[in-house]
Chain A
Amino acid sequence: KAGVTQTPRYLIKTRGQQVTLSCSPISGHRSVSWYQQTPGQGLQFLFEYFSETQRNKGNFPGRFSGRQFSNSRSEMNVSTLELGDSALYLCASSLPGGPIDEQFFGPGTRLTVL
């Protein structure tokens, strides 16, 4: 099976712009989670989607949003970009085997905000 894929892999934006990142889960996986990884804060949970519904969210401002489509692909959007949003954004997918499942990570999108 193909692994989790993310597009684009690299992105450069300027402050105030918005950005949309995409994640395609492993075939058959219906849960998609998003994480922000920075050297200072480590891996931080953004939100999780299952069957097009957000089931959980972390402690990020409303500028960070996401959605999931009927084919389980997911997008996350960051509006009004700030310098501090520069990070590696990882998505992870999992099977709906239970209330909590093994996460398979994608390669990430490296976002740089200038």
Chain B
Amino acid sequence: GENVEQHPSTLSVQEGDSAVIKCTYSDSASNYFPWYKQELGKRPQLIIDIRSNVGEKKDQRIAVTLNKTAKHFSLHITETQPEDSAVYFCAAGYNFNKFYFGSGTKLNVKP
């Protein structure tokens, strides 16, 4: 089956710095790659996603890049703020809404 690896498991940055989280997947049939933010005790919330026919997508301070050949995708957060502190999950999705998730990255933004 699919295997999604996510790195790093924890990331600590200073407010205003950038944060980068990387994921790799194994199955080339994956065609949709969402990123979720989960705050403590809350549900995962989609923050950005990218489909397999696109190489990069940006939404304000958040961007995602996808390299289909290398089977990896990355989340970039610029100008980090304390409210960005949370656990971030990447996922690789297949047709009919089957998703494999990475193990999560705990981001801590220090004021």
The 8 A CB mask of A82-114 against B (1 = contact, 0 = none) is: 000000001000100001111111111000000
Task: List chain B residues, Cβ under 8 A from A27.
Answer: none
**Residue pair A100, B32 in contact (C-beta under 8 Å):** yes
Please, how many angstroms separate the alpha-carbon atoms of A31 and B98 in the complex? 11
Cβ–Cβ contact B96 & A48, under 8 A: yes
Indicate if A64 sits at the interface (CB-CB under 8 A): no
Neighbouring A residues of B100 by C-beta, 8 Å: 45
- How far in angstroms is the closest Cβ of chain B from A1? 15
Contact between chains at B96 and A106 (CB < 8 Å): no
Cβ contacts under 8 Å, A107 to chain B:
42-43
* Interface membership of B101, Cβ < 8 A: yes
Chain A interface (Cβ < 8 Å from any Cβ of B): 4, 31, 33, 35, 42-45, 48, 50, 55-56, 58-59, 90, 94, 99-108
Q: Is the CB of A90 within 8 A of B101?
A: no
Number of CB contacts from chain A to chain B under 8 A: 61
Would A105 and B44 count as touching, CB distance under 8 A?
Answer: yes
Neighbouring B residues of A50 by C-beta, 8 Å: 96-97
A-B contact pairs, 7 of them (CB 8 A): A43-B89, A48-B98, A56-B96, A102-B34, A102-B49, A104-B46, A105-B36
Residues of A near B31 (CB, < 8 A) are 100
- Quick check: A42 and B104 within 8 Å, CB to CB? yes
Does B95 sit at the interface, judged by CB under 8 A?
Answer: yes
A94 CA to B100 CA in the complex, in Å?
16
Q: Is the CB of B101 within 8 A of A44?
A: yes
Contact of A99 among B44, B95, B102 (CB under 8 A): B95
| A54 (CB) vs chain B CBs: closest residue | B96
